[in-house]
Amino acid sequence: MEIKKVGVVGCGLMGGGISEVCAKAGYPVVVLEVNQQLLDKGMSNITASLERAAKREKITMAEKDAALSRLQGTLNMGDFKDCDLVIEAAIENLEEKKKVFAGLDKVCPPHAFLASNTSCLSILDMAINQPAQPGTGASLLQPGAGDEAGRDRENARYHGRGY
């Protein structure tokens, strides 16, 4: 399966970093947050991070602008309807993550690969009572911190099945 569009649930430190890495790697990214204030803060942090990278000449201004143009913030989970990969980076609360995955199962296409960035919760517990959908757990550490775009693209590709 080719990944053409990425969705990220959560635009905090991890979700924002994952969104930035995927956008820098050339993927269109939809990033979901629970309210406008958190979405604005997350998008602002991504913009600031890309501006710092351009200022330090880690990326060009054109690359910064291109990455920003690939990012779409949303408050509507339905905007994941055409994502091939969705990475959950929400609060570390099992019940909240179960709700996220139940919602994703309703809106994502059947081929979509669902991943969680949980650092301490069981992927199996999150998947209980969920349809059989490709998925994985991935604990990413500071995804935007100094990674090269090529390596980021490989880190954004997930292969396999089952939770």
User: Could you read off the pLDDT of 44-65 as tens digits, one per residue?
Assistant: 999 999 999 999 999 999 999 9
Report the pLDDT value the prediction gives residue 158, as an integer from 0 to 100.
37
For 71-82, the DSSP string reads EEEES-GGGGTT
- pTM metric for this prediction: 0.80
Report the pLDDT value the prediction gives residue 136, as an integer from 0 to 100.
47
Q: Which fold has domain 6-155?
A: Rossmann fold (3.40.50)
- Mean pLDDT by 10-residue block, N- to C-terminus, for the chain (163 residues)? 95 96 97 98 98 96 98 98 94 87 90 84 62 50 46 38 33
Report the pLDDT value the prediction gives residue 92, as an integer from 0 to 100.
83
Q: How many CB atoms lie within 10 A of CB 74?
A: 15
Amino acid at 49: S
